[in-house]
């Protein structure tokens, strides 16, 4: 029998997640922040996502970026959903249900500027990992970008045995269950009871109660794909560096902007120790010990090249940025060493600058021209911290925005229509940022109402109630369903008011609404 799933847990399809790290515009920003040459994004650009899941991120990026997208996910239900989204937007994309080996052996795909995979590497066999390396060697252009995220040590050292307990139960007992929920519940209960019996492992491993409690809160489909696959390979950063060297890939940086600021992630003594290490690869690996990292988001380049610090700053200052929130902004972030606050004297000026003209995207170079008291290094810190937090994001050129807006509009209209009966996809595609923005189901519904001419919160509330009432759905408040029409409409009105005042201005700036 042809075991097409190759040991991957396919009893249920994967969740409809979106990951900004897969966006080529975001990857280019991360590279620029660290001073690397970035691939140009234009009509000739080619992108490939390996293991795209339900295809939400792949389609958001295919709709919002110039060029052509390719991808594969061997689950045919995933591929069917991805192609349905592609047909809805009319984007230039081809999505297959090939295995990685079949994708490697195709004769109808081009060389790529970007090859990305998110949440795939750790959950496939060594054989498939080798195929991906060969795929990058064969199909990634010189100067091309390779993004990969994966579970890593030392952060997984305490958690790894828990995963083995879940798989142990599922292997010998759970597979007799036909229902995925019961399989996972059985494995969780078995593990819970084992830990309650006080094995020495539970006494020596720290934080197990918190780890297991977090697992209990996760979506069961997520748990199935995270913990229940036959293959699970956790590795150290240096292991991946060595493996990818066969494809001439060099580590450039992580897809986490805040990691460009050591002071935000490391204590003073940690920084002093790491600064003594001259090898960048050894330093990066040692850094994982200081922050006890368990998941990496790495960007590799085939032929990485650096730009000068002067050019790096000029390019950052001449990049358009857009404010992503109408709420007050503080320079605060949660990091491995706790909550960090930055006392940046130019924050207020920067935020006011981005708020002006209805949140229209702007270059900080223009702010520096009109206010010579502002320090460029302060603006760099603001960019780094706020992009990491998702409070501001880098933008595409206006000419690019104009070209990709039609496909974004079509995809967003499809999302709005789908939101009438489902809350599975909670994203919009923005032509401005070449990426997605998280929204909830009724923000999608309200966006559709706004496009159809609804002006007031009261009108939106009544239309929303008329939408869900025939479906026998009710809003939930304080854990309980609201039964009467009046209660639901009142709650919808508050939601619509927040949408009109807080979200709509941002959606307009992102050219979504």
Tokens at 95, concatenated = 């999505």
Which residues 6+ apart lie within 8 Å of 452 measured at CB?
Answer: none
Tell me how far CA of residue 152 lies from CA of 58, 156, 159, 236, 278, in angstroms. Answer: 25, 6, 11, 5, 23
Domain boundaries, the chain: 20-152+234-301, 160-227, 320-394
Helical spans, DSSP H, in 177-321: 180-196, 200-204, 208-217, 220-227, 237-244, 268-274, 280-291, 309-317
Q: Are 219 and 112 in contact (CB under 8 A)?
A: no
Give the whole-angstrom CA distance, residue 445 versus residue 507: 13
Query: What's the residue count for the chain?
Result: 513
pTM of the model: 0.92
Predicted pLDDT of residue 6:
53
Give the whole-angstrom CA distance, residue 257 versus residue 510: 21
Q: Per-residue confidence of the chain (513 residues) as pLDDT tens digits?
A: 344 455 444 445 567 899 999 999 999 999 999 999 999 999 999 999 999 999 999 999 999 999 999 999 999 999 999 999 999 999 999 999 999 999 999 999 999 999 999 999 999 999 999 999 999 999 999 999 999 999 999 999 988 998 999 999 988 887 777 678 888 999 999 999 999 999 999 888 878 888 898 888 888 877 887 788 878 999 999 999 999 999 999 999 999 999 999 999 999 999 999 999 999 999 999 999 999 999 999 999 999 999 999 999 999 999 999 999 999 999 999 998 899 999 999 999 999 999 999 999 999 999 999 999 999 999 999 999 999 999 999 999 999 999 999 999 999 999 999 999 999 999 999 999 999 999 999 999 999 999 999 999 999 999 999 999 999 999 999 999 999 999 999 999 999 999 999 999 999 999 999
Predicted pLDDT of residue 203:
86
Helical spans, DSSP H, in 34-157: 56-64, 76-89, 100-104, 126-139
Predicted pLDDT of residue 13:
53
Q: Are 255 and 27 in contact (CB under 8 A)?
A: yes
Question: What is the CATH T-level fold of the domain 20-152+234-301, as seen in this structure?
Answer: Rossmann fold (3.40.50)
Inter-helix orientation angle 457-468/441-451, to 10°? 120
Tokens at 388, concatenated = 């990491």
Secondary structure of residue 452 in the 3-state scheme = coil
Give the whole-angstrom CA distance, residue 150 versus residue 116: 12
Rounded to the nearest 10°, the torsion over CA 357, 361, 363, 366 is: -10
């Amino acid at each position: 029998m042809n075991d097409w799933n190759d040991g991957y847990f396919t009893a249920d399809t994967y969740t409809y997640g979106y990951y900004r790290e897969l966006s080529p515009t975001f990857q280019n920003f991360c590279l620029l922040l660290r001073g690397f040459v970035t691939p140009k994004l234009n009509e000739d650009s080619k992108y490939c996502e390996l293991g795209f899941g339900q295809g939400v991120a792949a389609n958001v990026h295919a709709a919002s970026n110039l060029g052509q997208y390719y991808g594969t996910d061997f689950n045919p239900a995933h591929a069917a959903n991805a192609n349905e989204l592609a047909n809805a937007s009319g984007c230039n994309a081809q999505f297959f249900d090939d295995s990685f080996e079949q994708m490697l052996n195709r004769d109808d795909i081009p060389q790529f500027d970007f090859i990305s995979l998110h949440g795939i590497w750790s959950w496939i066999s060594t054989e498939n990992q080798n195929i991906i390396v060969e795929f990058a060697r064969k199909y990634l252009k010189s100067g091309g970008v390779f993004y990969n995220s994966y579970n890593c040590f030392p952060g997984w050292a305490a958690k790894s045995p828990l995963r083995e307990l879940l798989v142990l139960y599922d292997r010998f007992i759970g597979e007799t269950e036909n229902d995925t929920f019961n399989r996972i519940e059985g494995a969780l209960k078995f593990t819970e009871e084992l830990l309650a019996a006080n094995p020495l492992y539970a006494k020596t491993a720290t934080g197990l109660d918190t780890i297991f409690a977090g697992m209990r809160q996760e979506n069961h489909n997520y748990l199935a794909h995270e913990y229940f696959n036959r293959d699970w390979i956790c590795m150290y950063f240096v292991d991946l560096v060595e493996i990818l060297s066969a494809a001439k890939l060099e580590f450039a940086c992580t897809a986490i902007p805040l990691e460009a600021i050591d002071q935000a992630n490391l204590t003073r003594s940690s920084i002093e120790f790491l600064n003594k290490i001259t090898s960048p690869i050894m330093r990066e690996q040692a850094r994982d010990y200081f922050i006890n990292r368990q998941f990496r988001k790495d960007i590799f380049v085939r032929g990485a090249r650096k730009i000068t610090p002067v050019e790096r700053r000029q390019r950052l200052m001449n990049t358009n940025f857009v404010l992503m929130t109408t709420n007050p902004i503080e320079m605060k972030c949660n990091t491995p060493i706790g909550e960090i606050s930055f006392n940046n004297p130019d924050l207020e000026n920067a935020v006011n600058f981005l708020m002006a003209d209805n949140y229209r995207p702007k270059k900080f170079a223009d702010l520096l021209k009109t206010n010579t008291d502002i320090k460029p290094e302060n603006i760099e810190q603001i960019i780094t911290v706020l992009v990491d937090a998702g409070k501001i994001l880098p933008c595409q050129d206006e000419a690019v925005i104009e070209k990709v807006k039609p496909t974004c509009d079509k995809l967003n209209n499809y999302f709005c229509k789908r939101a009438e009966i489902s809350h599975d996809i909670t994203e919009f595609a923005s032509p401005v940022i070449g990426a997605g923005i998280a929204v909830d189901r009724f923000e999608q519904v309200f966006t559709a109402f706004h496009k159809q001419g609804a002006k007031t919160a009261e009108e939106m509330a009544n239309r929303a109630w008329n939408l869900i009432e025939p479906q026998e759905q009710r809003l939930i408040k304080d854990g309980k369903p609201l039964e009467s029409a009046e209660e639901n409409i009142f709650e919808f009105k508050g939601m619509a008011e927040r949408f009109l005042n807080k979200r709509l201005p941002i959606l307009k700036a992102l050219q979504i609404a």
